[in-house]
Structures are given as structure tokens and as C-alpha cells.
């Protein structure tokens, strides 16, 4: 797969839709301080071609938040935010869910200096956050870097990988998650997986392909998309427990109490997957 020079900009795109998720004063100030000029054209094209993308991103973020809230109300964890990008998830966690967080590790190959600076400027507490600039595919240096920043493999860990799998290959993804395997399955992972066209209702295939094409053109590379079966087979390499796959329609029902935008399996470009490692 090509090296996607424009992938970090997709993080800003995601945040353009995240106002509903981040509504405290500091979180709003953070979002307003980001530069959106690089993705203005892309966002306009998306709004014209496939307006439900914004809702999918919001639901994805709610699914991740629900996962973190659930586990952090059940015990103490380290939190690894893989492909953290510009998202202020760690700001939310340190403000609202800090009690059971041992330490937060944000990892991304771009963006993080700027984010750290912005946290400082906005007086967002980052004393319990390590910002690690790192290509995750380089698993040897990633692991050393993580441990050097204080990661303790013996402590239970929550791992979020939001917006990562669509930009890297399946084998790279599994190689990264293998690092977090434990005998007691004490680590919990959540990630989003873009769905392949054959898993989408015929009625929605043009829309689905349209958004994939727009994203591929923007990043000048491929968007990795898979059937659910491919993902489940892939995950077997990790000997996981408690795999849960949720469609956007199911998440919409849980979060909104109704299904207005997404109705069936395959609607909404992505599915969310969680598992114990
Ligand atoms: C779509 S953004 C998602 C950002 C954030 N998780 C969110 O949902 O708002 C994708 C992020 O993945 C990061 N990324 C992609 N490939 C990566 C790699 N090989 N190593 C580290 N980060 C990577 C990009 O830099 C970018 O910030």
C-alpha cells in the first residue's frame, strides 16, 4: 500500500463533524483552533454526494465513547489511542473519565506536537498523556517507544483504533494488535472497519462506491475495505474472545433510539468491532 501523504488531513475531516461529540468549552475551543482549509473542498464534495457520512462519524465516535465509559466504570486501565490524529479524545477522557485511567498514550505518525501545544494553550490537562509520534506499522520501534514512555504490558489496557484500518493493510493491522495479546485477555480493543461493496445492499452500492472513490482520490491511495467474514478470519490470528460486531444501524438505534439514517447491515460505510485480547 502507498504511503498516504494526505492521510493526516482525514483526521481534520473527521473532526469537522465532531461538534456534537465535543461540547465542553475547552473541547469546542480546541476544535475551533484547528485548520480546516486543507479539507474544505473535500467536505463540500462529501456533503453533496453522501451527506450521511457525517452521521456515521458521529455514531462511530459515540460507539468508541460508550466502549471506554463501560470499561472505565469497571476497573483501572491504561488507554492507547492508536492513530489518534487531531481528535481531542484524550482531553475528553482526562476531564470526564480520569478516575480509572492509569495513563493515556496517543500514537500517530503526524499531528501530535501541534495537539500538545494546543492543549497547553487551552489549559487542557495533559499531565497524564504521552504524545508519541510513530508509524504504527514499524512495530519494533513502536513497542520500544511505547514502553519507554511508561507503558506497562502487565496492566490492563483499552486500545482504540479509530480510522486506522481503512488506511493500512490487514496484515499490518494484525501485527500491531498482536503486540497487545495477553494470556488473561485483559486488554480490550475497539476499531472501525470499512465494508466492501459486496456487503452493501444493491440499492446503496452507488453511494458506497462514490464515497470510497472520493476518499481514495483525496488520499491518493486505497481505502482498505473488507467483508465481515474477512475481518473475523483475520482476527483469529489474535485468538480473541468476546468479538462483537455492530452495524451503523444497530449503533444508531442504541444512541438515537431510532433508525433514521441507517436501516440494515451494510448501511453506513463502516462497522464497529470490539474484542478482548
Ligand atoms: C481518519 S484519521 C482518524 C483520526 C482519529 N482517530 C479520529 O477518528 O478522529 C486517520 C489517522 O491515522 C493516522 N495514521 C494512518 N496510518 C498510520 C500509521 N501507519 N501509523 C500511525 N498513524 C497512522 C493518520 O496520521 C491520521 O491521523
Q: Which amino acid residue places its CA nearest to atom 16 of ligand 1?
A: 167
Ligand 1 binding site (Cβ under 6 Å of any ligand atom):
7-8, 10-11, 14-15, 83-85, 87, 108-111, 135-137, 162-164, 167-168
Torsion sign across C-alpha atoms 195, 228, 82, 99: positive
Residue 6, pLDDT score: 53
Rounded to the nearest angstrom, the gap between the alpha carbon of residue 113 and the centroid of all alpha carbons in its chain is: 19
CA of 84 to the centre of ligand 1 (A): 6
Ligand 1 midpoint to CA 203 (Å)? 30
CA of 224 to the centre of ligand 1 (A): 13
Look at residue 2 in the predicted model and tell me its pLDDT: 35
pTM of the predicted protein model: 0.95
Instruction: Assign domain 7-276 to a CATH class.
Output: alpha beta
List the domain boundaries for the chain.
Answer: 7-276
Segments in the chain below pLDDT 70: 1-8
C-alpha cell recorded at residue 204: 446503496
Q: Which atom of ligand 1 sits closest to the CA of residue 110?
A: 25
**What is d(CA 195, CA 218) in angstroms, rounded to the nearest whole number?**
19
Neighbours of 264 (CB within 10 A): 14
Amino acid at each position: 500500500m502507498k504511503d498516504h501523504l494526505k492521510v493526516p488531513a482525514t483526521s481534520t475531516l473527521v473532526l469537522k463533524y465532531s461538534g456534537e461529540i465535543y461540547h465542553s468549552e475547552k473541547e469546542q475551543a480546541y476544535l475551533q483552533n484547528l485548520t480546516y482549509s486543507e479539507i474544505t473542498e473535500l467536505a463540500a464534495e462529501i456533503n453533496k454526494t453522501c451527506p450521511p457520512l457525517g452521521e456515521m462519524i458521529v455514531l462511530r465516535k459515540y460507539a468508541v465513547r460508550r466502549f471506554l465509559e463501560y470499561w472505565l466504570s469497571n476497573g483501572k486501565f491504561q488507554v492507547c489511542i492508536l492513530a489518534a490524529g487531531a481528535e481531542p479524545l484524550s482531553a475528553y477522557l482526562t476531564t470526564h473519565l480520569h478516575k480509572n485511567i492509569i495513563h493515556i498514550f496517543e500514537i500517530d505518525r503526524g499531528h501530535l506536537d501541534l495537539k500538545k501545544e494546543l492543549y497547553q494553550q487551552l489549559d487542557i490537562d495533559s499531565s497524564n498523556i504521552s504524545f508519541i509520534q510513530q508509524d504504527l506499522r514499524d512495530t519494533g520501534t513502536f513497542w520500544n517507544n511505547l514502553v519507554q514512555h511508561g507503558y506497562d504490558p502487565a496492566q490492563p489496557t483499552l486500545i482504540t483504533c479509530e480510522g486506522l484500518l481503512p488506511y493500512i493493510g490487514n496484515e499490518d493491522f494484525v501485527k500491531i494488535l498482536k503486540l497487545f495479546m495477553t494470556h488473561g485477555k485483559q486488554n480490550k480493543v475497539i476499531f472501525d472497519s470499512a465494508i466492501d461493496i459486496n456487503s452493501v445492499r444493491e440499492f446503496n452500492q452507488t453511494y458506497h462506491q462514490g464515497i470510497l472513490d472520493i476518499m481514495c482520490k483525496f488520499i491518493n491511495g486505497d481505502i482498505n475495505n473488507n467483508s465481515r467474514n474477512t475481518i473475523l478470519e483475520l482476527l483469529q490470528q489474535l485468538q480473541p474472545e468476546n468479538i462483537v460486531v455492530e452495524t451503523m444501524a444497530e449503533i444508531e438505534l442504541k444512541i438515537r433510539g431510532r433508525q433514521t439514517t441507517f436501516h440494515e447491515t451494510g448501511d453506513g460505510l463502516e462497522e464497529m468491532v470490539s474484542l478482548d485480547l
